[in-house]
């Protein structure tokens, strides 16, 4: 049964706090298992990867056939249906165009003292991309993760993906072709993340690892962060729809289910000031569920984590939205602009009844890799900048040195760092 909250209920504050705290990231402690996998890969190299791949994926893998040959990639991509190919090509073009606008500009200035300073941006040399092969294969994720890396100027993009029964997914191979993926390996799980981070021959060591995966993949990224950069540690998907009486119940219900079908742990929330709309949406969800091939997953998510929040007026919405900090936020109201301006925390916002989140998943342009688990309070979606480093530079001319040097030496003395002071004073 869907959970219902109302700001008029005496216990609303406690119930809402419990909802905010429920990030649905599971209670099973897999950190030890993942640490053991990483340790094995570090100590045993490819032999550990081969044994784990056989155990978890049922694929016998050797060094010689771990990488997908270019001919096999092309043959698989050629099997994609023409309509799907055109859709992927459209998506790739729109994603690339949007991310081209994100490339940061270098800057340089000379201050009043004549000191030259600035910022230079450079791409990492090699990025790793994890593509899951569990519940479904997502060519859209290949595009969303790989294209920003290429726009940033990454030299080499290495993809790892578990091959289902040893077979390649044609749509994933085509997406890799369109996005400019350099190399693809038939490896999945925490062992694949370890291979990318550590550089286990024949998998080259990467500077950054991006891409979604199951709990083991997320935990491996978490543990290896520091020796390699990562995009984020992502949890189950979530959507929050803010709607008023003008919203169409069928649209709202379909959008809620579009996230619920991802995972039994996914969360779909409706926040509305209309009790009539709330009841109509619940009825529409029940009507639509049996029509979905993904009904078992969507129903499990809706019944365990689906939530209706009733407010007296939409002016209460921004504070509640900011506390929930949703991955996806839809504003399906007659006047969305004031809400959009007032809300601070959301991974991505979809404005108006003709902007379902599913458009953003595929062909909108902005990235669909977004912070989950309330992390939109402090984190952002994947962008070109995630594949770039910012380097500052400084050049002090002789004319500016006396004034700056005297102050720097004084501060070094105050901190008790004699060599710091010496390195300044030795220059006169």
Altogether, the residues listed in the chain come to a count of 428
User: Quick check: 353 and 248 in contact, CB under 8 A?
Assistant: yes
| Residue 203 burial class via C-beta count within 10 angstroms: exposed 0-12, middle 13-18, buried 19 and up | buried
Rounded to whole angstroms, how far apart are CA atoms 145 and 383?
9
What tokens were used for 102? 């994100």
328 is an active site residue:
yes
Q: What is the Cα 327 distance to its own chain's centre? A: 9
330: helix, strand or coil: strand
User: Quick check: 307 and 4 in contact, CB under 8 A?
Assistant: yes
User: Quick check: 138 and 357 in contact, CB under 8 A?
Assistant: no
Q: Kindly name the residue from 99, 262, 305, 328 that is annotated as catalytic.
A: 328
Backbone dihedral angles phi then psi of residue 390, each to the nearest 5 degrees: -105, 115
Rounded to whole angstroms, how far apart are CA atoms 141 and 161?
12
| 156-160, strands of its sheet edge to edge | 183-185, 156-160, 126-130, 208-210, 229-230
Strands 388-395 and 116-123: antiparallel
327 is an active site residue:
yes
Q: List strand residue ranges (DSSP E) for 164-225, in order.
A: 183-185, 208-210
Q: Kindly name the residue from 171, 177, 261, 327 that is annotated as catalytic.
A: 327
User: Quick check: 192 and 151 in contact, CB under 8 A?
Assistant: no
Just list the catalytic residues: 327-328
């Amino acid at each position: 049964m869907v959970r219902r909250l109302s700001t008029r209920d005496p216990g609303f504050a406690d119930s809402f706090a419990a909802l905010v705290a429920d990030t649905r990231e599971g209670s099973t402690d897999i950190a030890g298992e993942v640490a053991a996998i990483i340790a094995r890969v570090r100590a045993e190299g490819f032999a550990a990867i081969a044994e784990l791949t056989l155990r978890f994926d049922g694929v016998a893998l050797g060094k010689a056939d771990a990488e997908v040959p270019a001919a096999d990639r092309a043959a698989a991509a050629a099997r994609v249906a023409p309509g799907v190919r055109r859709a992927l090509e459209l998506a790739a073009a729109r994603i690339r165009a949007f991310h081209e606008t994100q490339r940061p500009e270098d800057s340089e200035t000379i201050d009043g003292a004549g000191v030259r300073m600035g910022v230079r941006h450079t791409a990492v040399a090699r990025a790793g991309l994890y593509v899951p092969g569990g519940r479904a294969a997502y060519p859209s994720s290949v595009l969303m993760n790989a294209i920003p890396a290429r726009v940033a100027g990454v030299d080499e993009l290495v993809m790892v993906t578990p091959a289902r029964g040893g077979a390649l997914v044609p749509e994933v191979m085509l997406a890799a072709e369109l996005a400019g993926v350099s190399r693809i390996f038939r490896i999945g799980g925490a062992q694949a993340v370890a291979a990318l981070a550590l550089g286990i021959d024949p998998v080259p060591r990467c500077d950054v690892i991006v891409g979604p995966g199951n709990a083991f993949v997320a935990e491996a990224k978490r543990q290896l962060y520091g020796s390699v950069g990562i995009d984020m540690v992502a949890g189950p998907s979530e959507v929050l729809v803010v709607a008023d009486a003008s919203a169409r119940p069928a649209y709202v219900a379909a959008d809620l289910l579009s996230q619920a079908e991802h995972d039994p742990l996914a969360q779909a929330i409706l926040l509305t000031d209309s009790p009539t709309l709330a009841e109509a949406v619940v009825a529409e969800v029940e009507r639509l569920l049996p029509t979905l091939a993904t009904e078992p997953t969507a129903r499990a998510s809706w019944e365990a984590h689906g939530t209706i929040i009733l407010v007296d007026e939409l002016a209460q919405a921004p504070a509640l939205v900011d506390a929930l900090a949703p991955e996806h936020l839809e504003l399906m109201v007659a006047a969305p602009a004031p809400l959009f301006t007032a809300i601070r925390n959301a991974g991505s916002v979809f404005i108006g009844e003709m902007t379902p989140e599913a458009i953003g998943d595929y062909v909108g342009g902005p990235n669909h890799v977004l912070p989950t688990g309330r992390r939109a309070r402090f984190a952002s979606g994947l962008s070109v900048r995630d594949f770039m480093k910012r380097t500052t530079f400084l050049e002090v001319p002789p004319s500016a040195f006396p004034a700056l040097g005297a102050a720097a030496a004084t501060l070094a003395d105050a901190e008790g760092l004699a060599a710091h002071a010496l390195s300044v004073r030795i220059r006169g």
